[in-house]
Amino acid sequence: MKRVIVVGNGMVGYKFCEKFVAKSERENYELLVFGEEPRPAYDRVHLSEYFSGKTANDLSLATMNWYESNGIILKTSELISEINPKNKQVITYRNQVYEYDYLVLATGSSAFVPPIKGVDKKGVFVYRTIEDLEAIKSYALKIKQQGSTEAAVLGGGLLGLEAAKAVKDLGLKTHVVEFAPRLMPRQLDEGASNMLQQTIEGFDLGVHLGKQTNLIAGNGAIESMEFSDGTSLKTDILVISAGIRPRDELAVAAGLKVGHRGGVEVNNRMQTSDGYIYAIGEVALYNNGIYGLVAPGYEMAEVAVEHILGGNKLMSEEIDMSTQLKLIGTEVASFGDPFIENDEVVAIVYENKLSGIYKRINVSKDKTRLLGGILVGDSSDYNTLFQLYINCMKLPENPEDLILGSRGKGGSALGSVLDLPDTAQICSCESVSKRAICCSITEGDCSSLKDVIKETKATTGCGGCKPMVVDLVNETLKSLGQEIKETICEHFAFNRQELYDLIKINKIKNYDEALNMFGKGDGCEICKPVLASVFAGIYMETANKQVTIQDSNDRFLANIQRNGTYSVVPRVPGGEITPQQLMAIGRVAEKYDLYTKITGGQRIDLFGAQLHELPLIWKELMEVGLESGHAYAKSLRTVKSCVGSTWCRYGMHESVSFAIKIENRYKGLRSPHKLKGGVSGCIRECAEARGKDFGIIAVEGGWNLYVCGNGGATPKHAILLAEQLDEETCIKYLDRFLMYYIKTAAPLMRTAPWLEKLDGGIEYLKKVIIEDSLGIAHDLETEMQGLVNKYECEWKQAIEDPEIMKRFRHFVNSDDTDDTIEFVSMREQKMPRPW
């Protein structure tokens, strides 16, 4: 039996094992894997999530049992110290000798540490492994207990920004220090980098560009970074994430050919200069390049497996470095050549500083080819753009529509996903083509998305391809004549819209009745909140009515925070509040020792309330006319307003009064997802109305009504529905729009994706809402008025009902309070003690 030895058990080393055991030819081979870390392979791509609650087990790619059950011998905490190519042997640091027939180097890379004086001081770390993160976490906790809170990350590239997010999550004031004049200089142009910097600084991270660090100063431990321009930065901990260096020291000592800047040279079969030794992943130098993404590493692993077992698969000549990721709360993506500039290329750029969005695509001058691009702030179009680029597909007549707002017109720049060529790579992490996905259904045994994922492993890497995989599966099943039905869960064979109609027609009043009549089993935590939303949308039922089917926040009419306390958000319609109400909020915050913050929606958030304190707080707030702001609910949150013509010299109409009127009309209105509105007194748009689910902007002759925008993870601008409306007509159209959305949207679907899924897009919506093409306008208005008339404040219900009040106790059998909750001070207020 031949023996294959793999040195390194990171993500690429593990992928080699996975590909190897899937081959029938492996029966004549023994696989022996050495990993120098104390645990099996784990997901290094999502390493920063270790700071946000994930454990080492959560990040694990496979258990020890997996290796054993697949006949793989895995030796963890084992360092290979020498390779002897002549005798085909590897030697461990314990001087144990193992012979091989084939050797695979998957040693990856190490963090590059610049030669800075003082870099060996206490408090300086690299960001590479779980052990590194544990050390950073432990040191951060120690310095915080001593009152130190300043942190710095050296490196403003992809890894540096990941590290900065992780350090900030530890509760430290974090700074990013970068030698280059912009962030992510290898992936982003100046405009995109500036937008990313603006967004990052909005998260209270300091950004210091063009800084060369000459000295890490401090007496034993780091105290500051000294720069070549004479400036300095005080910091109590430094995390270095300034790039990587291939772990090629074994190869160098063994006499294998390496590049002059490092990396083991390999051919298109992943063979090194010794034909029995292979190199894959970040240690491999292929076509004079080192590739730090998982997709090329996984392809290298597959090629090496194929060649060792007698196959003939070759590595791609061109390595695509396109990538889509989320950094510090903002989406970033690039594909193709994002920087190309010559006479044959036209760059189309869209920039929105208000929403933090920057998009650039590079198009051939004849408008036929997409050559590359950059997306910051909104990468929802990445999959479409990447397929157009990688498959050299024909562009639409107006290429600018790809990024400048064809949304709402219906259809896609790709047409149907089935129009993609069979060779189109849908999942780059696992190298899964369109043909592989479709054939798993048409020629295989797959009949659902779950089956396809299990068979092909598509979406199991970064997950960015999942929307396109879902569309491919659905379209393929439809092409076979199968009905594709999106049911809410296994207990109800209906979608939300069908359940809405069934409950309304049959006058069903509670969950158990609905389950008995239309469902099966006992229900679950997916269908219960959906049904709660449906009952609220039909009967204006508050969350107090059927408490057992509500989400946890709705159950307690407040947002639960990370230490088990709650936040209280009174409604402040239009942002207008009386001095009496302001003083009452201040008194409550002082009395119950609450952290206070002005929200982005013109309200005041009170954090840190214990469960038993909620009714007491609500009672005091209601005494001055304040009521629930429904910040915890899938319902109307706020209608933001500027001061309008009441105070502003530019104001065209009285936006505050109109905003208050609208917020009071729809307060308590439950919907498939949260709703936000805005009313601006002029086109200067200080209320940011076009970033909301509905936005109203004052113009000459009335109000313009915009719909289906939202902020969040995938921000979208609202689209004009109607213009120059009087207040009465504007509210009439809003009634129709909101009621139609409530009746037809899927669970947890905001208005922007709802519009994108609507056949015909905005033009169809105009016909329904304005022209009454379906003949339901009167019904929609009547239903909305019925809901408006039934409004009740949930807080008031709670404090007036003894049965409801029983919910607000920490223990069912005692009146004791929770004495395990801990806080620490922060800027003269408090915050939960970090985990």
Same domain, 718 and 784: yes
Amino acid in the structure at residue 101: D
Would you state the pLDDT for residue 52?
A: 66
Place of tokens 């009621």: 739
Mean pLDDT of the region 614-642 = 94
pLDDT tens-place string over residues 107-116: 999 989 999 9
Q: What are phi and psi for residue 153, nearest 5 degrees?
A: -120, 125
Cα torsion 277, 279, 283, 287 to 10°: value is: 120
Highest mean pLDDT among 394-408, 425-439, 608-622, 729-743: 729-743
Would you state the pLDDT for residue 410?
A: 44
| Angle between helix 527-539 and helix 496-505 axes, rounded to 10 deg | 50
Q: Which domain holds residue 670?
A: 633-800
pLDDT tens-place string over residues 650-664: 889 999 999 999 999
Query: C-alpha angle 164/165/171, rounded to 5°?
Result: 95
CA 292 to CA 109: how far, in whole Å? Answer: 9
Same domain, 672 and 742: yes
Same domain, 374 and 479: no
CA 376 from centroid of its chain's CA atoms: 13
pLDDT tens-place string over residues 430-455: 888 899 999 999 998 898 888 899 88
The pLDDT of residue 812 is above 70: no
Query: C-alpha angle 163/168/173, rounded to 5°?
Result: 120
Q: Note whether residue 591 is domain-resident.
A: no
Q: Note whether residue 188 is domain-resident.
A: yes
What residues form DSSP beta bridges with 375?
A: 333, 359
Same domain, 656 and 782: yes
Last residue of a domain, one of 392, 415, 438: 415
Place of tokens 């970068």: 178
Would you state the pLDDT for residue 835?
A: 56
Whether 719 and 706 have beta carbons less than 8 Å apart is answered as yes
Q: Note whether residue 622 is domain-resident.
A: no
The pLDDT of residue 406 is above 60: no
State the chain's mean pLDDT as an integer.
90
Binding residues for siroheme: 686
* Residue 181 in tokens: 């004049």
Place of tokens 């979608």: 495
Per the structure, the count of domains in the chain is 6
Same domain, 640 and 784: yes
* Residue 490 in tokens: 């296994």
Q: Note whether residue 114 is domain-resident.
A: no
Mean pLDDT of the region 628-651 = 91
Give kind and range of the element (H or E) at residue 734. helix 727-744
pLDDT tens-place string over residues 88-146: 999 999 999 999 999 999 999 998 999 999 999 999 999 888 899 899 999 999 999 88
CA 624 to CA 619: how far, in whole Å? Answer: 9
Same domain, 682 and 773: yes
Rounded percentage of the chain residues whose pLDDT exceeds 70 = 97
Q: Are strands 566-568 and 109-111 parallel, antiparallel or unpaired?
A: unpaired
Buried b / exposed e over 497-516, threshold 16 CB at 10 Å, is eebbebbbeeebeebeebbe
The pLDDT of residue 699 is above 70: yes
pLDDT tens-place string over residues 673-682: 999 999 999 9
* Residue 622 in tokens: 């209601």
* Residue partners of 530: CB distance under 8 A and separation at least 6: 488, 489, 496, 499, 747
Query: 411 pLDDT band (50/70/90 cuts)?
Result: very low
Whether 307 and 279 have beta carbons less than 8 Å apart is answered as no
Whether 178 and 209 have beta carbons less than 8 Å apart is answered as yes
Same domain, 375 and 445: no
How far from 390 is each of 155, 313, 385, 411, 714, CA to CA, in Å? Answer: 30, 20, 9, 21, 24
pLDDT tens-place string over residues 450-468: 889 988 988 887 677 888 8
Mean pLDDT of the region 741-763 = 91
Closest-CA residue to 35 (of 4, 6, 3, 64): 6
Same domain, 187 and 300: no
* Residue 460 in tokens: 């199991």
CA 8 to CA 393: how far, in whole Å? Answer: 39
Same domain, 261 and 370: no
Same domain, 137 and 170: yes
Place of tokens 């051919």: 267
Same domain, 410 and 472: no
CATH number at 267 reads: 3.50.50.60
pLDDT tens-place string over residues 215-262: 999 999 999 999 999 999 999 999 999 888 999 999 999 999 999 989
CA 81 to CA 253: how far, in whole Å? Answer: 10
Last residue of a domain, one of 396, 415, 434: 415
Would you state the pLDDT for residue 279?
A: 98
pLDDT tens-place string over residues 171-202: 899 999 999 999 998 889 999 999 999 888 88
Pick from 40-54, 563-577, 615-629: least confident: 40-54
Rounded percentage of the chain residues whose pLDDT exceeds 90 = 62
Would you state the pLDDT for residue 415?
A: 62
Please tell me the number of Cα atoms within 13 Å of 486 on its side-chain side: 10
Would you state the pLDDT for residue 414?
A: 59
Place of tokens 């620490």: 824
Binding residues: 642, 648, 682, 686
The pLDDT of residue 688 is above 80: yes
Q: Helix, strand, or coil here: 490?
A: coil
Binding residues for [4Fe-4S] cluster: 642, 648, 682, 686
CA 566 to CA 577: how far, in whole Å? Answer: 23
Q: Note whether residue 560 is domain-resident.
A: no
Mean pLDDT of the region 300-309 = 95
Highest mean pLDDT among 248-262, 324-338, 590-604: 248-262
pLDDT tens-place string over residues 484-499: 777 888 899 898 999 9
Mean pLDDT of the region 612-633 = 94
Q: Are strands 284-285 and 330-336 parallel, antiparallel or unpaired?
A: unpaired
What residues form DSSP beta bridges with 364?
A: 345
The pLDDT of residue 302 is above 60: yes
Would you state the pLDDT for residue 326?
A: 75
Q: What are phi and psi for residue 20, nearest 5 degrees?
A: -65, -50
Q: What are phi and psi for residue 268, nearest 5 degrees?
A: -75, 5
Last residue of a domain, one of 359, 390, 415: 415
CATH number at 452 reads: 1.10.10.1100
CATH number at 378 reads: 3.30.390.30
CA 739 to CA 742: how far, in whole Å? Answer: 5
Same domain, 23 and 44: yes
Contacts 24+ apart (CB under 8 A), 763-769: 763/408, 763/409, 763/410, 764/410, 765/707, 765/708, 765/721, 765/737, 766/721, 766/722, 768/736, 768/740, 769/721, 769/722, 769/733, 769/736, 769/737, 769/740
Mean pLDDT of the region 59-63 = 89
Pick from 3-7, 266-270, 809-813: least confident: 809-813
Which alpha helices (DSSP H) does 266-376 contain, by range? 294-308
Mean pLDDT of the region 716-732 = 95
Q: Note whether residue 594 is domain-resident.
A: no
CA 380 to CA 385: how far, in whole Å? Answer: 10
Mean pLDDT of the region 361-383 = 90
415 or 617, higher pLDDT: 617
The pLDDT of residue 732 is above 80: yes
Amino acid in the structure at residue 325: L
CA 143 to CA 141: how far, in whole Å? Answer: 6
